[in-house]
Amino acid sequence: MIISRVMTKNPVCVHPDMSVNDARALMDKENIGKLPVLDKDNKLIGIVTKKDMLKAGPSPATTLDMYEISYLLSKLKIEKVMEKNVITVDENEVVEEAARIMADKDISCLPVMRRSGASGELLVGIITGTDLFRVFVNAFGARHPGIRITLNMTEKPGQLAHFAGAIAEKGGNIVAFVSSEGDDLSHRRGTIKITGLSRADVEAAAQALPGTEIEDLRE
């Protein structure tokens, strides 16, 4: 799956001369926590998050009253608190690469760019942890009722095909499949969501597959 299919398109953006107070109000209105920052030519020059704005606020030990704090924040511009070294991702990149970058860099979002000929790159979206959670939910078929089974299978050609064939013969349908590394190089772990069959039928199909251990089975 590529990023353009799961990203939030046409994200709400701000300009660097917007005040922190106005940016906060915009975030509250739109129910969002990240704002890409564009210059007058609509080029991406930064990103600001609610966390950045909290850091920009006064210390809890301040002697300023709320009106003085509000006044100071109304004068503070986004360009002073935004992150300027923005990590981005191309709209045609795969979702798992975006997840890897976010995990490795410990960041909560990535602006999504499109190469636009002589004009360079154009901001077309943003992908966040929430977007990746939706991918995760869909990949595991979490919204489909059915039988969920996790198999520890011998790493050899045809194992999954044999299991899928057995499920089809019994009239079942595989609606989700997620593969991951096994406990060693000779095994692979597969989590499969199946509809149209009973728990007993799915268990029987798995037990008939040589070199396979059922690690989890549930409705």
Angle separating helix axes 95-105 and 129-139, nearest 10 degrees: 130
In a shared domain, residues 145 and 132: no
Name the domain boundary from 90, 106, 136.
136
In a shared domain, residues 113 and 194: no
In terms of residue numbers, what domain contains 33?
3-136
- Would you say residue 183 has pLDDT above 90? no
Domain count, the chain: 2
Name the domain boundary from 108, 136, 164.
136
Question: Maximum Cα–Cα distance for the chain, whole Å?
Answer: 74
Confidence of residue 116 (pLDDT cuts 50, 70, 90): confident
How many H helices and E strands in the chain? Answer: 7, 10
Q: Which two tokens stand for residue 99?
A: 């997840």
In a shared domain, residues 107 and 15: yes
Query: pLDDT tens digit string along 73-100?
Result: 677 899 999 999 999 999 999 999 999 9
Q: What is the pLDDT of residue 61?
A: 45
CATH number, domain with residue 66: 3.10.580.10
- For residue 86, the tally of other CB atoms under 10 A from its CB is 17
Q: Is the pTM of this model over 0.75?
A: yes
In a shared domain, residues 76 and 164: no
